[in-house]
Structure 1
Amino acid sequence: MTQIKKVVLAYSGGLDTSAIIPWLKEQHDCEVVAFVADVGQGAEELEGVEAKAIASGASSCHVVDLKDAFVSEYINPILKTGALYEGTYLLGTAMARPIIAKAQVELALKVGADALAHGCTGKGNDQVRFESTYAALAPELSVIAPWREWTMKSRTDLLNYLASKNIPTTASAEKIYSRDANAWHISHEGGELEDPYCEPSEQVWTWTQSLEQAPNEAQYVSLQFEAGVLTAVDGESMTPYNALNYLNGVAAKHGVGRIDIVENRLVGMKSRGCYETPGGTVINNALRGLETLVLDKAAFKFREQIGLEFSHVLYDGRWFTPVAQAQLAAAESLAQALTGEIVVKLYKGHATVVKRQSPNSLYSEAFSTFEEDEVYNQKHAEGFIRLFSLSSRIAAMHKEQN
């Protein structure tokens, strides 16, 4: 085993990573530097995190503000691809991992560490996402994944371990849900959700109102896009992060963005999770509505193909790969036409595009009207249809002859 002198741990302040710090020191006799990524998970989760890390035995704790970069450099490009994993999931956890792991690597190189560590379990996707980034950016650094090495199996084991080390923790054995939050979404796993036939109780959801409690009156929001990037909401210019944060609050009140899915993990098993993506659902729906106005049939089909492929590339942790960069570049090219205003109606869990306009619109009322027009000769459709169906006609003739 390579001698580890200094390791940078992706630290959250939760039970797992609090136990990892003393375990690393015990097993490797090394210095542990805690790294905390602020990706918009909220002040409550970050409160006192540095003190927790030091109390657990870390030599230092670095909290890095990644909120604006997360939205501008990761969420916005991903939105342009239209990626939806298995048709439903807006990939909130997957899209945050590349920027977190990249910043962790940068800190490790800065402080002269010779190893990286994370608290991902051996059952999940995140271990692949983190370690694929490590491999792409700093293959010379060793990787330590305690959940694949230690003998502890449960929350009770971790609590007992911390108690044996006299390390304080606010965690308890009664916590039944595993949650992960960032500016884009919050995920929920565990508890009753492990039974796919059990309806989620209201204690699962933490951001959004239930449909029963959501307002009985609809609310309309206007979104202005420039080349596929949200620049203003309700006529007010905002940074991408501030716009997302604002829409999270507005849409959550109307119960927008809840999904309850069973997904296929990369490692082969299925998992059941509940996700809340209120503002992201509004932005995604608006951008898709703008696409219908400005992209022609072939371009729209190609964008759909990019979205399908990129959803797997991102979910599988392949952000720092040539195929990911190629797909992002293609989506960026198509998004240059996505300038315009979209109005979305928020009501009882729905975010419905009801108005759209763009200087690049390909929609022509003169051509599509059901009323009398002077620009389209309907007789021309006959020749188009004969040529379009020519292969079918030839096949039928061939069948008759044989």
Structure 2
Amino acid sequence: MSKQQVKKVVLAYSGGLDTSAIIPWLKENYDGCEVVAFAADVGQGDEELEGLEEKALASGASECHIVDLKDEFVADYVYPSLTTGAVYEGSYLLGTSMARPIIAKAQVEVALKVGADALCHGCTGKGNDQVRFESTYAALAPQLAVIAPWREWTMSSREELLNYLAERDIPCTASLTKIYSRDANAWHISTEGGELEDPWNEPTENCWAWTTAPEQAPDTPAYVSLTVEKGRVVAVDGEALSPYDTLVKLNELAAPHGVGRVDILENRLVGMKSRGCYETPGGTVIMAALRGIDELILDKNSRKFRDQLAVEFSHVMYDGRWFTPLNKSLLAAAESFAEDANGEVVVKLYKGTATAVKKKSPNSLYSEEFATFGEDDVYDQSHAEGFIRLFSLSSRIKALKQEK
């Protein structure tokens, strides 16, 4: 679709510097097309959403749609993802990745509702998000054109963007003094930029936004009980809560104890490495609880396969492939394991750690009768000899052949 053919575009709008500049840029470079701003509330906080509609209209948007996705985000994207046990490259709990498919999906829905012929995002050409957004667009509305200004315009710095807005008398609260790039939702907050761009620099406390430094956390641990049904946390300390409210409560409980900090140098999908600091306090507690249940209910081979599934799903999620047959299959496999994931786990919060210290499940495979180091009547240790001979038979045959 040519620039002349684009009559109405829906922009994924955050109110920040980039998207504030994109609105007038679209109108100037796409022959006066109408720009509809879209913003998603995924639990990033009222501060980021306050005055957003006014900002969008002042920048030149014809209207602004702010869609509340908090409950759907946690219930239909975060919780199913947790059943897989996925962690990207050993430590990243996929906070930004999990939010992108629901945001892009809602943007498509707004575009179809208002009769737009194009979608636009403010993702840079260096990042993962451009892939995540556009893969969702392709899966749900391939007929709509996609505009990615960072891949088209000649501006390349904050100074140029600020000057661009100043020349057009468009208000913006951004400034040259901004150090970090942050992205938040109900699950986590990410921080990039500043001192983090040098891997030799230790993050300063200014880098962390939600959590207390573990060194400054209380000297007395806190304990929280989580009730799990089919791989989902359904109650905290005996109080039944929705998925979103569960996450809010656990964030409030865990953040003061410094739980959930991760400093990772990760491999981006586009080929480069980047460094990010992630804070996922409540999510870290949930993961500890779900792992505690898994330890009780999964046999050795099931656990091995689930771990393999987790790695595969982490890449599918990270790479923006939520709306694919592969993702559907992986989630279905994870759900089959989650059928027996019922029980209660007590998690200890102490100076940056979340440890499952008590766990029980009606489906537990653990038997004290069999596992005890004391005397028992259920396990004949002499039976182990035959098992070991068969288990090591191939090694025995190979050694005998070499001896001959």
Shorter-chain TM range is over 0.9
Partner SS state of residue 273, structure 1: strand
- Report the counterpart of residue 129 of structure 1 in structure 2: 132
- Structure 2 residue 347 is matched with structure 1 residue 344: yes
Q: Distance in 1 between matches of 2:214 and 2:295?
A: 28
- Report the counterpart of residue 233 of structure 1 in structure 2: 236
Deviation digits for residues 285-305 of structure 1 (CA, Å, limit 9, x no counterpart): 110111000111111111101
Q: Distance in 2 between matches of 1:27 and 1:249?
A: 45
Q: Distance in 1 between matches of 2:159 and 2:24?
A: 16
- Structure 2 residue 98 is matched with structure 1 residue 95: yes
- Report the counterpart of residue 22 of structure 1 in structure 2: 24
Q: Distance in 2 between matches of 1:160 and 1:70?
A: 36
1:67 is matched by which residue type in structure 2?
K
CA RMSD of aligned residues (A): 0.6
Q: Distance in 2 between matches of 1:74 and 1:182?
A: 12
Q: Distance in 2 between matches of 1:229 and 1:259?
A: 23
User: Paired residue for 1:242, among 233, 241, 245?
Assistant: 245
1:359 is matched by which residue type in structure 2?
P
Task: List gaps (5 residues or longer) in structure 1.
Answer: none
- Report the counterpart of residue 280 of structure 1 in structure 2: 283
- Structure 2 residue 361 is matched with structure 1 residue 364: no
Deviation digits for residues 234-263 of structure 1 (CA, Å, limit 9, x no counterpart): 111100000000000110000000011100
Percent pairwise identity: 73
Q: Distance in 2 between matches of 1:41 and 1:211?
A: 23
Q: Distance in 1 between matches of 2:6 and 2:99?
A: 28
- Report the counterpart of residue 204 of structure 2 in structure 1: 201
- Report the counterpart of residue 182 of structure 2 in structure 1: 179
Q: Distance in 1 between matches of 2:297 and 2:326?
A: 26
How far apart are residue 88 of structure 1 and its match?
Answer: 0.7
- Report the counterpart of residue 13 of structure 1 in structure 2: 15
Partner SS state of residue 53, structure 1: helix
Q: Distance in 1 between matches of 2:266 and 2:300?
A: 30
How far apart are residue 400 of structure 1 and its match?
Answer: 0.9
Q: Distance in 1 between matches of 2:160 and 2:286?
A: 42
Equivalenced residue count is 401
- Report the counterpart of residue 304 of structure 1 in structure 2: 307
- Report the counterpart of residue 258 of structure 1 in structure 2: 261
Q: Distance in 2 between matches of 1:395 and 1:67?
A: 60
How far apart are residue 211 of structure 1 and its match?
Answer: 1.3
How far apart are residue 165 of structure 1 and its match?
Answer: 0.8
TM-score under structure 2 normalisation? 0.99
How far apart are residue 213 of structure 1 and its match?
Answer: 1.4
- Structure 1 residue runs of 4+, over 3 Å off? none
Q: Distance in 1 between matches of 2:371 and 2:216?
A: 41
Q: Distance in 1 between matches of 2:53 and 2:335?
A: 38
Q: Distance in 1 between matches of 2:399 and 2:190?
A: 54
Q: Distance in 2 between matches of 1:296 and 1:100?
A: 37
